[in-house]
Amino acid sequence: MCGCRINGKPFNVLIEGARLTVCSECARHGKICYDQPKPKPVLSTPRATPVTFKVRTKPQPPPVDTSFELVEDFGTKVRKAREKLGFSHEELGKKINEKVSLLRKIETGKMTPDDKLTATLEHALKVKLIMSAKEEKVPQSKVSKKSGRELTLGDLIQLGKKGEEKEISGREQS
């Protein structure tokens, strides 16, 4: 504190809340702090019960809802709806808070929008982009002309045999 060299034993003193190492002359201006022995760490005894650890697993993504799917020509639908409402890419991007490049990729079909963006586009453009997933419709050629019902495996085998007979009879004639 005084700036002199400490001759002899230095004192640890508390002066105005600061702990200082000073000479014997400066030690009288503060309260002497005596070094307290540091507590020894307590060694723990072995546990009687076994320690269990939780295994962290990666969070599983939520199950995909396959009951709805994006329409096939979503890009052209988005473009036509945007043009019908008179929006430019920039205006639509500002309205739905998305990048212009993303909207262009969606319109050209280079990218498919996620569910959240699809819902936003549907709302902003007033267009239906999600439809319920339907089972494949059987084309008319696959329906039996005799009974008006769908073809069975047996019907297909019979059709195959009739086709072979025509091919065989055609070969015999030539």
List the domains of the chain with CATH numbers: 1-34 (no CATH), 68-132 (1.10.260.40)
Q: At what angle do helices 115-125 and 89-96 cross, to 10 degrees?
A: 110
By 3-state DSSP, what share of the chain in percent is helix, strand and coil, each rounded to 5? 40, 10, 50
- Each residue's pLDDT tens digit, 1-52: 777 888 888 888 888 888 888 888 888 888 888 766 566 666 666 656 666 7
Structure tokens at 116: 């959240």
- Each residue's pLDDT tens digit, 41-58: 666 666 566 667 777 777
DSSP state of 36: P
Predicted pLDDT at 167: 47
When the pLDDT of each residue in the chain is averaged and rounded to a whole number, the result is: 77
**Cβ neighbours for 68, distance < 8 A, ≥ 6 positions apart:** 130, 131, 132, 133
Phi-psi group of 36: left, alpha or beta (phi > 0 → left; psi -120 to 50 → alpha; rest → beta): beta
Q: Is 68 helix (H, G, I), strand (E, B) or coil?
A: strand
- Each residue's pLDDT tens digit, 112-163: 998 899 989 999 999 888 887 764 444 555 555 556 677 777 777 776 666 5
